[in-house]
Chains A and B, each alone.
Chain A
Amino acid sequence: MKGYRKYFLNKILWLLITLVFAFILNFILPRMMPGDPVAAIVARLAQGMSNSTGMKQVYEQYTSLFGTNLPLYQQFFIYVNNALHGNFGISFSQYPRTVSDILKSSLIWTIALQFPAIIVGWIIGNTLGALAAYLKKGFDKVLLPVSIFISNFPPFGMAVILLVIFAVNLKWFPTSGGYGFDLIPNLSWKFVWSVIVHYQLPFWSIVLIAIGGQAIGMRSMSIYELNADYVKYSRFLGIKDRKIVWYVFRNAMLPQVTGLALSIGTMVSGALIAEIIFSYPGLGTTLLNGIKGQDYPLISATTLIITLMVLFANFVVELVYGLIDPRIKAAQAD
């Protein structure tokens, strides 16, 4: 267990470092650009928005909250402090709602949609990839080109096509939203059913996006492992084929777990766009609304939350990897 603790501390340290940089980037990137957020908000004030008193309030609140008249490094500490307290200011476009209020209502949808979908996609993709490598003939011939094509299909394309086939043409599922537009969220059976029905298409399109890449990766990993020297040697020791196949898939699976950690960021971005296509009430749609409404505080907070989500997911996957790959513990113990 000593080895694992070392690994764990290592990963925690790395998580903290990446968190710090995530905050710095989120803070600094928009401020380095010519059209910085304050200029944007002043411009909007000057345009004489319909709700100019509201805008003025936002501006004052923004100035005091973010300390925009202070030096940059002080601004940064104010920003981090606010962010850690969940205080992201007031939304420009959905005034007078606060950004954290908007995020609170959308974050849960994204988490409930994306993480199960990515995990299911990962499992199915790896199973198919392993089968393709093991069964080779026929199955491999059909599956490989299909998954190469699927994995090259743009993620949003998959979502659009599922939507057109199953929602528009077959009318099996609704075209958009997280629940029926005539319902108010509550715990009634009708509402839950509506949520389940609305969940299907976004869920399966994210699953499909995840399957393609994973299946190809797992297939080549398994082929590589099937040709490994230990397979031949184990056979000559008289070990049963079934046991050897188990060795191979376990060993091929391990790099796929690290692969998941590395690709989770890409998958989440793809999934955010799938949310947008289905107008799912998650972070993707919130982000789109923020961009449409030129709502700087909302965009900044949403991207920060997405980054944090990805970093934490990554961290969890790395921890799990440390648990299931015996070599990690062994290598760290020395």
Chain B
Amino acid sequence: MKHTLQQVFRSGKFVVGFIIFCILLLIVLIYPLIVTDPPLTIIAQGTFFPPGIYVNTYDSVNSPSTYILNLENAGVKRIASKLSDEDRLAMQEFLIVAGVPAEDIDITNTPQLLEQWNSNYDPSKNISGMTLARSRYFQRLNTSLKGLLKPEGEILAAINADSGDLEQIGLVNQNDYVNVGEVANVRLLALGTDNFGRDMLTELVRAAGVSLLIGLVAGLVATLIGLVLGLVSGYIGGIVDDLIMFVTNLFIVIPSFVLLILISFSIGQNKRGAFTIALVIGLTSWVWTARAVRSQVISLRNRDHVNLSKLSGHSIFHIILNDILPYIASYVIMAFILQISSAILVEASLSIIGLGPRTTEVPTLGLLMNWAMIYQAHIIGKWWAYFPVLVVIALITFSMNLMNTGLDQVFNPALRE
């Protein structure tokens, strides 16, 4: 046993797969201890906030101490963030239509460009063929350009309770800074928020955990059924074998996905918990294990040590437990690993067509994918809503397949190149 483990860990493929898997598992276990928020709480008002550090504006303005930093290119950056190259090209296009000679326009010269814009822009002016959306864009651009080059800060004002007048209570200069560490409310949304406004990272970690559990339960169920049927079929043989093999071959050609769809749909959305889905997946994916176990058992059935055990009058149970199981253990473990990874994929596929676990309790990788697809995250460019999910799924299945390939090379040296 110890020797086998040593051999297994000498296989590079297995070790790489094992490390990836362990890292994933550690994250799933440790992250909830650090970020304790429930994964399905809606925190954002709005959909698909991009990933980043969110600093509370109110707290920043009211931060206990402000700092003055005279940074050289602060102004340039400020202008760039409001006036992108795309905007400049659009302005140039508008100015040319408005009659400014093309050679007079230098889009890199900001003051000149703004000056030309201010004297030529007219919201009522129509460029032929300009869509409504385009003219709205120019209106918005025009508003955002107001005061872009002014050197003064912004005045903070409050309404005087007695007189109802606005009174200046402070001034924020262009070179005022706060230290993020001193701002009371800062939230890191490493993967932004999803379509419902939930923290994507927290949700993803929880979903990975749930999906792994689904895989584990489905894998256990499938492996158990497959193992028992394979053992019975292979060891007893005869009509029992014929019957079991008939059923097995039947379920090999009838697509299990179709069975899954029918069963999941019939159970109904309200009764479909993550656990139920895992059970259903397990119940529909045991065929390959049964077949593999059966052929292994048949090749073992007439080996000397099994015959010896039979002659010694051991019970079938004893023989299977002591003389057969240890010899097929490696196959069963490999089949189990494959079942886990394929169950995770199946759950995801089911969820995408809307037959996954009910959506109110826990997220799964499939559900995250389903939500992202329904809200068209992929089409409107909100990559953080679907891409990390795909990467996590791929990493889980990739690591498991690597482990499996490694095990295969250790246990079936004939297949080694």
**Direct A–B contact in complex, judged by CB atoms less than 8 Å apart:** yes
Check B25 for interface membership: any CB of A closer than 8 A: no
Check B111 for interface membership: any CB of A closer than 8 A: no
Contacts of A16 in B (CB 8 A): none
Say whether A287 contacts B252, CB under 8 Å: no
Check A18 for interface membership: any CB of B closer than 8 A: yes
Check A75 for interface membership: any CB of B closer than 8 A: no
Give the residue among A26, A30, A160 with the most B Cβ atoms within 10 A: A160
Say whether A30 contacts B262, CB under 8 Å: yes
Give the residues from 288 to 316 in chain B that come closer than 8 angstroms, CB to CB, to chain A: none
A268 to B, closest residue via Cβ: B255
Q: Could you tell me the dominant secondary structure of chain B's interface residues?
A: helix
Contacts of B268 in A (CB 8 A): 33-35, 40
Q: Report the bound CA distance from A154 to B394 in whole Å.
A: 7
Q: What per-residue 1/0 map shows which CB atoms of B373-417 lie under 8 Å from chain A?
A: 100001101010010001001100110011001000000000101
**Residue A35 contacts which of B266, B394, B397 (CB distance < 8 angstroms)?**
B266
> Taking the nearest CB of chain B, how far is it from the CB of A130, in angstroms?
15
Contacts of B266 in A (CB 8 A): 29-30, 32-33, 35-36
Q: Report the bound CA distance from A266 to B381 in whole Å.
A: 30
> Taking the nearest CB of chain B, how far is it from the CB of A44, in angstroms?
13
Interface residues on chain A, number (Cβ under 8 Å): 56
Check A243 for interface membership: any CB of B closer than 8 A: no
Q: Report the bound CA distance from A32 to B267 in whole Å.
A: 9
> Taking the nearest CB of chain A, how far is it from the CB of B105, in angstroms?
28
Q: Report the bound CA distance from A175 to B393 in whole Å.
A: 23
Contacts of A307 in B (CB 8 A): 254-255, 258
Q: Say whether, besides A30-B262, A152-B397, A223 and B255 are in contact (CB < 8 Å).
A: no
Say whether A168 contacts B255, CB under 8 Å: no
Contacts of B250 in A (CB 8 A): 17-18, 21
Q: Say whether, besides A152-B394, A287-B353, A303-B261, A34 and B271 are in contact (CB < 8 Å).
A: yes
Q: Report the bound CA distance from A296 to B255 in whole Å.
A: 19
Check B253 for interface membership: any CB of A closer than 8 A: yes
Contacts of A262 in B (CB 8 A): 252-253
Contacts of A154 in B (CB 8 A): 345, 348-349, 390, 393-394, 397
Contacts of A36 in B (CB 8 A): 266
Contacts of B345 in A (CB 8 A): 154-155
Say whether B265 contacts A30, CB under 8 Å: yes
Say whether B254 contacts A287, CB under 8 Å: no
B381 to A, closest residue via Cβ: A168
Check B332 for interface membership: any CB of A closer than 8 A: no
Q: What per-residue 1/0 map shows which CB atoms of A269-306 lie under 8 Å from chain B?
A: 11011001100000010011001100010011001001
Q: Report the bound CA distance from A113 to B397 in whole Å.
A: 27
Say whether B390 contacts A153, CB under 8 Å: yes
B393 to A, closest residue via Cβ: A154
Q: Report the bound CA distance from A299 to B261 in whole Å.
A: 9
> Taking the nearest CB of chain B, how far is it from the CB of A226, in angstroms?
9
Contacts of B369 in A (CB 8 A): 156
Check B54 for interface membership: any CB of A closer than 8 A: no
**Residue B257 contacts which of A157, A161, A265, A276 (CB distance < 8 angstroms)?**
A265
Say whether B259 contacts A164, CB under 8 Å: no
Q: Report the bound CA distance from A314 to B341 in whole Å.
A: 25
Check A148 for interface membership: any CB of B closer than 8 A: yes
Check A224 for interface membership: any CB of B closer than 8 A: yes
B268 to A, closest residue via Cβ: A35
Q: Report the bound CA distance from A314 to B379 in whole Å.
A: 36
Say whether A277 contacts B373, CB under 8 Å: yes
Q: Say whether, besides A25-B262, A311-B253, A292 and B354 are in contact (CB < 8 Å).
A: yes
Give the residues from 180 to 215 in chain B that come closer than 8 angstroms, CB to CB, to chain A: none
Say whether B352 contacts A276, CB under 8 Å: yes
> Taking the nearest CB of chain A, how far is it from the CB of B349, in angstroms?
5
Say whether B349 contacts A164, CB under 8 Å: no
**Residue B255 contacts which of A266, A277, A284 (CB distance < 8 angstroms)?**
A266
Contacts of A25 in B (CB 8 A): 254, 259, 262
Q: Report the bound CA distance from A281 to B112 in whole Å.
A: 53
Check B263 for interface membership: any CB of A closer than 8 A: yes
Q: Could you tell me the dominant secondary structure of chain A's interface residues?
A: helix
Check B116 for interface membership: any CB of A closer than 8 A: no
Q: Report the bound CA distance from A225 to B383 in whole Å.
A: 44
Q: Report the bound CA distance from A307 to B253 in whole Å.
A: 9
Say whether B354 contacts A291, CB under 8 Å: yes
Contacts of A223 in B (CB 8 A): 415, 417
> Taking the nearest CB of chain A, how far is it from the CB of B244, in angstroms?
15
Contacts of B252 in A (CB 8 A): 262
**Residue B259 contacts which of A29, A152, A268 (CB distance < 8 angstroms)?**
A29
> Taking the nearest CB of chain B, how far is it from the CB of A54, in angstroms?
22
> Taking the nearest CB of chain A, how far is it from the CB of B258, in angstroms?
5
Say whether A303 contacts B262, CB under 8 Å: yes
Say whether B378 contacts A168, CB under 8 Å: yes
Check A90 for interface membership: any CB of B closer than 8 A: no
Q: Say whether, besides A154-B348, A164-B383, A306-B258, A148 and B401 are in contact (CB < 8 Å).
A: yes
**Residue A299 contacts which of B265, B397, B401, B402 (CB distance < 8 angstroms)?**
B265
Contacts of A151 in B (CB 8 A): 401
Check A149 for interface membership: any CB of B closer than 8 A: yes
Q: Report the bound CA distance from A157 to B397 in whole Å.
A: 13
**Residue B390 contacts which of A161, A287, A296 (CB distance < 8 angstroms)?**
A161
A22 to B, closest residue via Cβ: B254
Check A206 for interface membership: any CB of B closer than 8 A: no
Q: Report the bound CA distance from A270 to B341 in whole Å.
A: 15
A292 to B, closest residue via Cβ: B354
Contacts of B263 in A (CB 8 A): 29, 33
> Taking the nearest CB of chain B, how far is it from the CB of A19, in angstroms?
10
> Taking the nearest CB of chain B, how far is it from the CB of A167, in angstroms?
8
Check B355 for interface membership: any CB of A closer than 8 A: yes
Say whether A288 contacts B393, CB under 8 Å: no
Which 7 residue pairs of A and B lie closest in terms of their CB atoms, listed nearest first? A33-B266, A265-B255, A269-B257, A157-B390, A35-B268, A152-B397, A30-B266
A-B contact pairs, 30 of them (CB 8 A): A18-B250, A22-B254, A25-B254, A26-B262, A29-B263, A30-B262, A33-B268, A34-B268, A35-B268, A35-B271, A151-B401, A152-B341, A152-B398, A154-B345, A154-B348, A157-B390, A164-B383, A168-B378, A223-B415, A265-B257, A269-B257, A270-B349, A272-B353, A288-B353, A291-B354, A291-B355, A299-B261, A307-B254, A310-B253, A310-B255
What 10 new A-B contacts, CB under 8 Å, besides A148-B398, A148-B405, A292-B354?
A: A25-B254, A29-B263, A156-B369, A168-B378, A168-B379, A223-B415, A224-B415, A268-B257, A303-B262, A310-B258
